[in-house]
Amino acid sequence: MSGMRGLSVFISDIRNCQNKEAERLRVDKELGNIRTCFKNDKGLTPYKKKKYVWKMLYIHMLGYDVDFGHMEAVSLISAPKYPEKQVGYIVTSCLLNENHDFLRLAINAVRNDIIGRNETYQCLALTLVGNIGGREFAESLAPDVQKLLISSSCRPLVRKKAALCLLRLFRKNPDVVNADGWADRMAQLLDERDLGVLTSSMSLLVSLVSNDYEGYSSCLPKCVKILERLARNQDVPQEYTYYGIPSPWLQVKTMRALQYFPTIEDPSTRRSLFEVLQRILMGTDVVKNADNQRKVYAMKFIDAFFLFAHLLGIVNNYICTCIYIYKERDILLPCHLIQYFSHVSLDLLYGMCDVSNAKGIVEELLQYLSTAEFSMREELSLKAAILAEKFAPDLSWYVDVILQLIDNAGDFVSDDIWFRVVQFVTNNEDLQPYAASKVREYMDKIAIHETMVKVSAYILGEYGHLLARRPGCSARELFGILHEKLPTVSSPTIPLLLSTYAKLLMHAQPPDIELQKQIWNVFKKYESSIDVEIQQRAVEYFELSKKGAALMDVLAEMPKFPERQSSLIKKVEDVEDTADQSAIKLRAQQLPSNALVLADPQPVNGTPPPLKVPSISGIKLDHESASQTQSQPNGDLSKVQSQIPSADLLGEMVDPLAIEAPPVDMGSHQRVYREEDGIPDEVDGTAIVPIGDQANKVEPIGNITERFNALCLKDSGVLYEDPYIQIGVKAEWRGHHGRLVLFLGNKVTSPLTSVQALILPPAHLKLELSLVPDTIPPRAQVQCPLEVMNIRPSRDVAVLDFSYKFGTSMVSAKLRLPAVLNKFLQPLQLTSEEFFPQWRSLSGPPLKLQEVVRGVRPLSLSEMENLFNSFRVTICPGLDPNPNNLVASTTFYSENTRPMLCLARIETDPADRTQLRLTVASGDSTLTFELKEFIKEQLIAIPMGSRALVPAVPVPAAPLAQPPSPAVDANDPGAMLAGLL
């Protein structure tokens, strides 16, 4: 701070200001002063200039605009002495950015410093260019910077800066580094011993190979060597170890670089890499209980993990890898690591749980539940509940866990969970007194969750009498404690409480007149309840309880529930894909001891399903509901009807003509199409051509269209299944890139041959499917990664043309791939300050399109919100003053559009939920149109809720098919309704 008293005084002054106003006055005064000095005094001493420039930076940092003096800052760059030069460089790189014209003035001075002999000046210049250099810098300076980087006479200090400076220039203009000329030098750089230079060079390499790895294969073995050197801690100076771990950042960067190479050809390099990764993943260098070290370890772990998965070709099949790692290490990851791993680790824990460790894992999950992000809690609690059920060492422990779960995270415990615990208790007599006493304990807590009230009421009603001899558990006391909760619960819980009261009354032995009086009072009070359910129960229980013996019959203990598969497990299995299931099954089997073996096919399902010989030949191809109805041999009418609107609407809706056709007609409508043959092609580019009609006797299991629709909203699941094969999909999306893995699982004990998978890409997607093996061995699973790149917005769908031979019969299917528009959306929530300016700036067609959509499936606003959120268009609550309207935003990624903000507004009519007005806006007209159409399809089709609610769709009285017009019709009732809102 020597010699800059003026600056210190100024900072102190600012600190002493009592309020913002005073600060502003002081700043204005100083700015005025600096301005005058810069203006008048041409002979300003370098010292003064330096002081003023620092002050400008400080003022800038305080949040004030400094719109002058840039010239002075830049001119200091060419000052002859170091102190002034330094200030010039630093302040310039803070105040200016690459788009400022002033910066161009400095190019020459900067270049002189770079090619000059003064090392310190070289450093300053390289730093400036590295931080704010733009395209012009790239063009004029890249060769000089490259020279410095590879020069043997330069100190490491200069070279590491040169490496990063070159990285910046490369980002601004990739042409400045050419693989032909640079790859060898890059490889040489990786021989560097100095870890500072190596760290910077590695960043450069990551950037180069992320752009294009071609030509850099000579760097591969060197990266592996570096990783080996670090993992084995050979020749790593003490100063580069961080909490005992040799340069974890360099390790992470190296692993990142390796991830950009698709494969490693050389077997010995591959082997070395596996060894080193194993070493990292085992965490042999981690000291137990060293908290900091564990965190550092975690950071390596993630990248090592991805690389490992990448190499094994089981991309993101976390669980397989994790089970493997876990088995090898035989330790659990500590809780705080789990927090870092978030969702990934949840899958991990879930996957590796077995009888021996279930207790530990479930307790860990419960503990984590109270600190987890809200978005995770529901999944967490569901998984904890399932694990507890599957692996419970004894049933009382299971009851404990579920009650604790409800107590910790009641809001996130779905009804399924408490239904299940009630089922268990009902079916296991020895559990009943325990469960009753346990819930009785919870009832003593001051505030308990409503779900807890429900469980407790149910269990105490049924089994409360088993506790009668214990203190505080007489019927009257149980009633008292339950009744206290009644004012706090919502109306669906009240009927449950009334039933409990009736049961308590019945069980009270000897009959308790006082209790009877109290309970009758409650019944009387609810006799006139506005809620029909409550009213009915109150009246009936009141009457019944007067009858004595009859009451005993009616309110007898609930019979045992028929034993069935847990609805919870079913729920999760519906959600999880084949890979996960097989992973869970893997647990029971012997695990391979060598990492490489893991890539080998694993059995998919334990037992092959019985083979079915369908009586009617017919292929259920893809999403054609018509062919579905045809090929269903015994399809009863109601089933078919209920399927029609749900199963094919998405396909239908792509065709605008069909939108308003009554659903019942659609079957025939489609059938006509089929007879005409080939016409459905135009629907969405999915060629539905019957292949080998006669030979094909294999029927898919489940509805392909529903499977596809479900996969459009989630990232993993089953795409196709028939008696021989199951095709699962797991996808991951990042910006406009996506990576799908197809899991082809042979379900039977003989091989499937002539396996062929062909992708028919639509014009807007770039798709690359890795090699699909010709044969799938018996009961094995193979995985085929598929890279997807989105070039521009479009709703067209990619099709997988899949065929194989089983015995002599050829089976083929054309399957739509869930690489649909919404996968390239990234949820984004905007505040009103962010939303409205954007909304206003996008005015009118073609960037903003509006349409009144009719025939919408009626949804409540909250259901609609969920729907939007499920396809990653985020609802921004509270932005629209009208509570009947929703406003949403999202970001769309494609190569052509870059990340593009999309906005949407939905105006609903509370009087008629089947119509709404939809407005979509974005900076790209195609995108706006495609997104609008996409949302419309979703609103009309809604694949998710196709089951129960379908009959609610009003069938318009056979209106003529009417193409929707993007423009708003002024006479249209929807527009009028919008006017009213």
> According to CB under 8 A, which residues from 883 to 942 bind another protein?
891, 899
Q: Binding to another protein by residue 838, rule CB under 8 A?
A: no
Rounded to 5 degrees, φ, ψ at 448 are -125, 155
Q: Binding to another protein by residue 132, rule CB under 8 A?
A: yes
Binding mask 444-473 vs another protein (x if CB under 8 A, - otherwise)? ------------------------------
Q: Binding to another protein by residue 563, rule CB under 8 A?
A: no
Q: Binding to another protein by residue 826, rule CB under 8 A?
A: yes
Give the residue, chosen from 22, 25, 61, 71, that forms a contact with another protein under the rule CB under 8 A: 61
Q: How far apart are CA 410 and CA 381, in angstroms?
A: 9
Rounded to 5 degrees, φ, ψ at 785 are -70, 150
Nearer Cβ to another protein (31/953): 31
Give the residue, chosen from 83, 633, 807, 877, that forms a contact with another protein under the rule CB under 8 A: 83
Q: Binding to another protein by residue 82, rule CB under 8 A?
A: yes
Nearer Cβ to another protein (289/370): 370
Q: Binding to another protein by residue 57, rule CB under 8 A?
A: yes
Nearer Cβ to another protein (423/890): 890
Q: Which stretch binds another protein (CB under 8 A): 126-134, 401-409, 683-691, 850-858?
A: 126-134
Q: Binding to another protein by residue 15, rule CB under 8 A?
A: yes
Let me know: does 572 contact 386? Beta carbons within 8 Å: yes
Q: Binding to another protein by residue 90, rule CB under 8 A?
A: yes
Q: Which stretch binds another protein (CB under 8 A): 159-167, 496-504, 666-674, 763-771?
A: 159-167
Q: Which residues are annotated as a binding site?
A: 5-6, 47, 51-55
Let me know: does 889 contact 903? Beta carbons within 8 Å: yes
Residue 870 beta carbon to another protein: minimum distance, rounded to whole angstroms? 18
Task: Compute the half-sphere exposure of residue 826: CA atoms within 13 Å on the CB side of its CA.
Answer: 15
Nearer Cβ to another protein (161/857): 161
Q: Is the dihedral of CA 650, 652, 657, 661 positive or negative?
A: negative
Q: Binding to another protein by residue 807, rule CB under 8 A?
A: no
- If DSSP states are collapsed to H, E and C, what string results for 826-892? EECCCCHHHHHHHHHHCCCCCCEEEEEECCCCCCCHHHHHHHHHHCCCEECCCCCCCCCEEEEEEEE
Residue 200 beta carbon to another protein: minimum distance, rounded to whole angstroms? 6
Let me know: does 135 contact 173? Beta carbons within 8 Å: yes
Q: Binding to another protein by residue 514, rule CB under 8 A?
A: no
Burial class (CB in 10 A: 0-12, 13-18, 19+), 548: exposed
Nearer Cβ to another protein (173/518): 173
Residue 386 beta carbon to another protein: minimum distance, rounded to whole angstroms? 25
Beta bridge partners of 242: 245
Q: Binding to another protein by residue 54, rule CB under 8 A?
A: yes
How many residues contact another protein, by CB under 8 A?
74
User: Of 357-376, which residues contact another protein (CB under 8 A)?
Assistant: 371, 373
User: Of 482-501, which residues contact another protein (CB under 8 A)?
Assistant: none
Q: Binding to another protein by residue 1, rule CB under 8 A?
A: yes
Q: Which stretch binds another protein (CB under 8 A): 124-132, 488-496, 513-521, 854-862?
A: 124-132
Residue 66 beta carbon to another protein: minimum distance, rounded to whole angstroms? 8
Q: Which stretch binds another protein (CB under 8 A): 299-307, 321-329, 816-824, 965-973?
A: 299-307
Q: How far apart are CA 297 and CA 337, in angstroms?
A: 9
Residue 260 beta carbon to another protein: minimum distance, rounded to whole angstroms? 11
Determine how many CB atoms are found less than 10 A away from the CB of residue 474. 19
Determine how many CB atoms are found less than 10 A away from the CB of residue 737. 15
Residue 826 beta carbon to another protein: minimum distance, rounded to whole angstroms? 6
Three-state secondary structure call for residue 123: helix
The closest alpha carbon to 383, from 564, 571, 563, belongs to: 571
Q: Which stretch binds another protein (CB under 8 A): 85-93, 146-154, 215-223, 648-656?
A: 85-93
Q: Binding to another protein by residue 58, rule CB under 8 A?
A: yes
Nearer Cβ to another protein (62/556): 62
Residue 343 beta carbon to another protein: minimum distance, rounded to whole angstroms? 12
Q: Binding to another protein by residue 878, rule CB under 8 A?
A: no
The closest alpha carbon to 229, from 203, 256, 201, 251, belongs to: 251
Beta bridge partners of 885: 907
Nearer Cβ to another protein (204/508): 204
Nearer Cβ to another protein (299/810): 299
Q: Which stretch binds another protein (CB under 8 A): 60-68, 345-353, 424-432, 945-953?
A: 60-68
Q: Binding to another protein by residue 828, rule CB under 8 A?
A: yes
Cα-based distances in Å from 24 to 15, 21, 34, 59, 717: 12, 5, 15, 10, 60
* Structure tokens that stand for 206 in this block: 């990551």
Q: Binding to another protein by residue 94, rule CB under 8 A?
A: yes
Q: How far apart are CA 940 and CA 915, in angstroms?
A: 10
* Structure tokens that stand for 382 in this block: 């569901």
Let me know: does 145 contact 116? Beta carbons within 8 Å: no
Work out whether strand 241-242 and strand 912-922 pair parallel, antiparallel, or are unpaired: unpaired
The closest alpha carbon to 791, from 754, 729, 736, 850, belongs to: 736
The closest alpha carbon to 928, from 898, 904, 949, 909, belongs to: 904
H helices of 79-178, where? 82-95, 101-115, 119-132, 135-150, 156-172
The closest alpha carbon to 673, from 663, 683, 664, 686, belongs to: 683
Determine how many CB atoms are found less than 10 A away from the CB of residue 573. 15
Give the residue, chosen from 75, 92, 200, 278, that forms a contact with another protein under the rule CB under 8 A: 200
Residue 83 beta carbon to another protein: minimum distance, rounded to whole angstroms? 5
Nearer Cβ to another protein (547/734): 734
Residue 54 beta carbon to another protein: minimum distance, rounded to whole angstroms? 6
Nearer Cβ to another protein (8/809): 8
Angle at 554 between CA 552 and CA 559, to 5 degrees: 100
Residue 58 beta carbon to another protein: minimum distance, rounded to whole angstroms? 6
Residue 132 beta carbon to another protein: minimum distance, rounded to whole angstroms? 7
Let me know: does 79 contact 64? Beta carbons within 8 Å: no
Binding mask 232-271 vs another protein (x if CB under 8 A, - otherwise)? -----x-xx-x----xxxx-xx--x---------------
The closest alpha carbon to 250, from 174, 298, 195, 306, belongs to: 195
* Structure tokens that stand for 839 in this block: 């909304």
Q: Which residue is listed with tokens 């001899």? A: 469
Q: Binding to another protein by residue 207, rule CB under 8 A?
A: yes
Q: Binding to another protein by residue 168, rule CB under 8 A?
A: yes
Q: Binding to another protein by residue 87, rule CB under 8 A?
A: yes
Identify whether 510 is preceded by a cis peptide bond (ω within 30 of 0).
yes
Q: How far apart are CA 63 and CA 387, in angstroms?
A: 53
Q: Binding to another protein by residue 196, rule CB under 8 A?
A: yes
User: Of 329-358, which residues contact another protein (CB under 8 A)?
Assistant: 339-340, 342
Q: Which residue is listed with tokens 């014009």? A: 763
Q: How far apart are CA 723 and CA 517, in angstroms?
A: 63
Give the residue, chosen from 210, 233, 491, 750, that forms a contact with another protein under the rule CB under 8 A: 210
CB neighbours of 273 closer than 8 A, spacing ≥ 6?
224, 227, 258, 264, 311
Residue 726 beta carbon to another protein: minimum distance, rounded to whole angstroms? 30
Identify whether 723 is preceded by a cis peptide bond (ω within 30 of 0).
no
Q: Binding to another protein by residue 668, rule CB under 8 A?
A: no
Give the residue, chosen from 303, 347, 722, 930, that forms a contact with another protein under the rule CB under 8 A: 303
Residue 910 beta carbon to another protein: minimum distance, rounded to whole angstroms? 33
Nearer Cβ to another protein (230/460): 230
